[in-house]
Amino acid sequence: MNRFVNIKGYQEAISLISKYKWNPICDVTANLPGSLGMISAEDVFAKIPLPTRERSLVDGYAIKSLDSTGASRENPVHLKLIGRKEAGSGKKFNIARGECIEIYTGASLPQGCDSVIMAEDAVVVTGGITITEELSAGSNVSKVGEDIARDFQIIHKGDQIGSFQITAMLSTGTARIRVKKRIDVGVFSTGNELFSSSPDNIKNTAETAVKTFFESPFLKVTRLGKCHDSAEEISKKVKHSIASMDAIVITGGTSLGRYDLVPEALSGIAEILFGGVRIRPGRTAALYSLSGKPVFSVSGFPSSAIISLWLFLPHFIAAVTGMHDVSRKKMMQLASRLHSKPGYTTVIPVRNSDNSRMKVSPVSSKGSVRMADMLKADGLVVVPDNVEGYSENETVEVHEVR
């Protein structure tokens, strides 16, 4: 019963994760469309500018701006129409003074033109158009490199690749990118109660919870099944699975009960980094290293398992991939006081509390986090171990988890 006497503080625990020499995650090359959501393994710069040529931003008429000098309703200017150009057209024109061409959005400007008058601002007459306003050079024209300049950094190493980044890379000469291989995390659950032969049989929901919450384009969660409350069986499953996984998660078997055997199962085969952390919920969370890969041991209660992994797993991912923090968070005001236990880093589910969605309040005043609390929650507030909660109207950082 003295297993958690010398437990770690949260900051110490994440420091151990971040500084440990884990096996690195290798780089692979991906076509850009297939890299969505993955972690970039390189910096990417624009090879060519966007656009590469001056192009029209509107449907209208390409002209020389000098030809519009003095144009007004009282002094309309007539321009001779000599052709038409659409986007992608290879037609070449060399516009002389007093001439124009019909042009469509996205078409490159013909030689000699420096501005475009919108179609609705010109009057079509026989043989050409009449304009009644002056245009400055560059009007309704997208300049070379105006969207993205050559050598502009589109993505940084460690970024999660998004749709706009893919579009920008494709538009500026990049077709393939080096990314981090998808991290494969295996998860299995322990407990006699998970087997149909048990009179107290329950469903193995923790394994499903971990998979559905954490799986993403850069992280795959592989279900490894379940184990009885047997140190030998747990140890065997870990040793068998670790070779094909980048990390292992074990749910259940972490507490102080007679049949909580994960510590016993791993003590002889793995290095322990920490066994118990001053966090709520998830005090019994533990981390081991086997063959340079992490084995996370968390509660069998789905909500507690999710929160424990949410606190620790991103630090492992950052350590092996260089991934930047991509958590969605915002500063919001508390609608009511928020309590926490001194000496423990406390994670508290909160929900929006007014129509403006600018204030939040705790979902529950209880110390534990129930599944019903997570169903109601719009976000999580992490209260440091040296803070005894927050007062009403105080501003806090809210992490979105939906």
Q: What are the structure tokens assigned to 161, written together?
A: 């690749």
Q: Please report which helix (H) or strand (E) contains residue 188, including its range.
A: strand 183-190
Classify residue 317 by its DSSP letter.
H
Amino acid 342: pLDDT: 87
CATH number of the domain encompassing residue 283: 3.40.980.10
Q: How confident is the model at residue 3 (pLDDT cuts 50, 70, 90)?
A: low
Both 190 and 312 in one domain: the answer is: yes
Q: How confident is the model at residue 1 (pLDDT cuts 50, 70, 90)?
A: very low
Amino acid 365: pLDDT: 62
State pLDDT tens for residues 67-112. Answer: 999 999 999 999 999 999 998 888 889 899 999 999 999 999 999 9
Both 192 and 316 in one domain: the answer is: yes
Number of domains in the chain: 4
Question: What is the C-alpha to C-alpha distance for residues 115 and 112, in angstroms, rounded to an integer?
Answer: 10
Is the pLDDT at 169 greater than 50? The verdict is yes
Provide the 3-class DSSP secondary structure of residue 247: strand
In a domain, 107, yes or no: yes
Classify residue 253 by its DSSP letter.
-
pTM value is: 0.86
State pLDDT tens for residues 263-299. Answer: 889 988 999 999 999 999 989 999 999 999 999 999 9
Q: Which domain holds residue 187?
A: 10-26+181-321
Both 286 and 333 in one domain: the answer is: no
Letter for the amino acid at 307? I
Is the pLDDT at 188 greater than 70? The verdict is yes
Contacts of 121 (CB under 8 A, 6+ apart): 60, 131, 132, 133
In a domain, 5, yes or no: no
In a domain, 1, yes or no: no
C-beta separation of 371 from 390 below 8 A? no
CATH number of the domain encompassing residue 389: 2.40.340.10
Is the pLDDT at 62 greater than 50? The verdict is yes
Amino acid 356: pLDDT: 60
Contacts of 339 (CB under 8 A, 6+ apart): 362, 365, 388, 389
Q: How confident is the model at residue 366 (pLDDT cuts 50, 70, 90)?
A: low
